[in-house]
Amino acid sequence: MTARPPDDPLDDLDREIMGRPDDPLDDLDREILERIGRFDPPPADLDERVLFALALDDLEIEVARLTAEQFTGSGARASERTRTITFGADSRTVMITVVERDDNLVRIDGWLAPGGPLRVELRFPEPDPARTVTADEAGRFVFDEVPHGLAQLLVHGPDAEAARVVTPSLLL
């Protein structure tokens, strides 16, 4: 015989106000919820993508939001297919075009606005080291021979005090 837990006065109040207690679930309830939960669960890699995006050593960041994404080309040659993604942050816009190469790698052509010779970093999940390039005066930068998979872009500010602009993780 199990002892009943003491009545929680808040629960009693809830019952009075709502007229219905929070019934314990029986097997049918559980079956129903289990069936509902099976449809459209979060993607299996969502937790990993979030964790990857958050793996930053410095919290002085400005979050860049995806503001546009466009696919062009459907040619047989991989190099004819491109994907253009625009990220907007308060201080800067980052636009990248991801070009499929014929060797199953991609090239990223990027553009910062406003432009300037800023350091741009492309992060990958560990243990792959990040790559860093410097944009030209007009804000253009290129990462070539990039493998498919998760990546994240960081744009460093013009000086050490400025927050870095950080994108969510990209599935290249």
Partner 1 sequence: MSTDADLGTLLERARSGDRNSLRELIRALDPVLWRVARGQGLTAEDAADVVQTAWLELLRRLHEIRTPRAVTAWLITTTRREAWHRQQRARRDLADGSAVLDAAVDPGPAPDESLLTDERDTVLWRHFARLSERCRHLLRIVAQVDRPDYAVIAEAFGMPHGSIGPTRGRCLAKLREMLLADPAWASP
Residue ranges that bind partner 1, judged by CB under 8 A: 10, 13-14, 17-23, 28-29, 32-43, 46-47, 49-51, 53-56, 59, 61, 63, 65-68, 166, 168-169
H or E element: which one contains 104?
A: none
**Closer residue to partner 1, CB minimum distance, 41 or 103:** 41
**Closer residue to partner 1, CB minimum distance, 5 or 102:** 5
The nearest distance, CB 18 to partner 1, in angstroms, is 4
**Closer residue to partner 1, CB minimum distance, 11 or 128:** 11
The nearest distance, CB 156 to partner 1, in angstroms, is 16
**Do residues 172 and 148 make contact, with C-beta atoms less than 8 angstroms apart?**
yes
**Closer residue to partner 1, CB minimum distance, 43 or 77:** 43
CA–CA distance, 123 with 136 (Å, rounded to integer)? 20
**Closer residue to partner 1, CB minimum distance, 44 or 160:** 44
- Per-residue burial over 6-43, b = 16 or more CB atoms within 10 Å of its CB, e = otherwise: eeeeeeeeeeeeeeeeeeeeeeeeeeeeeeeeeeeeee
H or E element: which one contains 22?
A: none
**Do residues 94 and 153 make contact, with C-beta atoms less than 8 angstroms apart?**
yes
The nearest distance, CB 9 to partner 1, in angstroms, is 13
The nearest distance, CB 53 to partner 1, in angstroms, is 5
The nearest distance, CB 109 to partner 1, in angstroms, is 21
